[in-house]
Structure 1
Amino acid sequence: PREEYVEQAYFFRALRERMLQNMTAQELLPSLRDELLSTTQLPLAVDFMAGELRHLGLMAPALARLSHYFTPFQTFIVSEAEQPSGRFDLEIGLLILEHDAKLRADDASLAARFLFQFECITRNRLRYDPGLEALSRDPIYPPEWSEWILTVRRQIGLVEFADMIYVRSEYYLKEQVRRGRSGEPEKPVLFGEKEGKIAKANRRRDPLMMFAAFQRHLNYPAAPMLKPPDESAQIVPDLLRRVERLETRIKLLEEEQKGGIDLTKFYAPPQ
């Protein structure tokens, strides 16, 4: 139901924003639970998550055990964020889950949802194999979509992703008819004419360029990704150190002009 996804989007956003204030998930879950609509199933799910977090220190196992409520993709994102390597930040993971829940609440097209989820995996350099396997089990996708997602999983890196979209689009089918071939698709059409046209135009290009074109022309959502660290905070300390070094050099030059440098100031104290 839509209200479940609306509450999920709020939950993931509130959890992310409050964790940025140096509060732990273990502290936040009980209070967030009280803010959620009691007519939804999410408060019960959050209760279970809080218990698992106390015992295991992780949230992903709780999401996996609540597979009737949370999707495999949601579990995959949290699991990747909780990997010991720390390469994928939980802040970005929660932002992805918030956007994903909004897409579900807005009943976005299957093409828009898949391309968003796939771009999240690509841009954040998550593992393709378990990620696509999780997508194939997402209940929003009918059998023909799940079958195609598993095909992408097998062929990614061997076949161009743009080609895999193009040949399953209405645009490809219309081009076949124009060439005098059968208008009956061999496999179900999954993408519209516009998606197929953009995919064809981006063959032999970086897939990220294709995602950007989908966002420009079809208003598809962009995938959140980790921003590079802000180096501006380090500029002032660096400048101060440089000024100190310049002041030291100026003093040495002034002393040299006055008649010599007193080297005793640089001697180490006697042991």
Structure 2
Amino acid sequence: MTTAIESGFARQLKHWRTLRRVSQLDLAIRADTTQRHLSYLEQGRSRPGRTMVVRLAESLDLSLRERNGLLLAAGYAPVFPESDLDTAELAPALEALTAILDGHLPYPALIARPYGVLLAANAAFDLLTEGAAPWLLEPPVNVLRLALHPDGLAARVLNLPEWGRHVTEALRSRVARSPDPALDALIAELEGYLPQTDPGQDHLGFAVPLRLRGNEDELRLITTITSFATAVDITLAELQLEAFLPANEQTARVLRERAALRSGSDKSCRSEGPAGPLA
């Protein structure tokens, strides 16, 4: 007779394996166990050791938060802490992030928490806030809503149907790997702001540069998103650094000129404007 703990763990294990589309045999090989033992775990006929739970979670590429959840389901205490941003443990990483923001100037860069909540940005981030409704810039700023709301950046995006779908499809890919009702609701809200689009036969996907209407010129930006792949703290692991890069020389020139006009301001820009300083 299985216990409630074994049953809960068994359901979660099978759920994650199915979601990742991994066979029992493949997962057993990755986790250095046997398919028979894995089958017993999924049936609730065996109770896993703590080390086995950690190996299975790693093999399934679960997030730190999800790994803690699997440990709890198996009856073990979580092993990955979730620290406040102002703790001494996170200070070196946050200092490094501040240096990255500074070093990316004169191009925009920001750090976001889960669900697009803005933590910090550099001085060039003002390119993306110009003309936005004041309520969209009130803390906590949601950079996803700021980007796609008609009263935000979207009013200046020349290729909104394509670029907006690029943003929402990236979120859908994330939620496909890690189901999250709150993220589902945010995606639905964001998609409600976007005009309908009908990709033609030459459509190559939504991975397109951001085409932004400037004062005189069209600006083209590409983005990179970076996270802490080897973090052992949930708070740090869930931060994302989004950096914008010029897609052509004209855009690079305009951004350099904007930086020159700001030369009298604080170049370190520890999150000037709506983001607030890094803790």
Bucket of the pairwise TM-score, normalised by the shorter protein? under 0.3
Q: Provide the TM-score with structure 2 as the length reference.
A: 0.22
Q: Provide the TM-score with structure 1 as the length reference.
A: 0.22
* Greater Cα radius of gyration, structure 1 or 2: 1
Choose between structure 1 and 2 for higher RCO, CA contacts under 8 A separated by at least 6 residues.
2
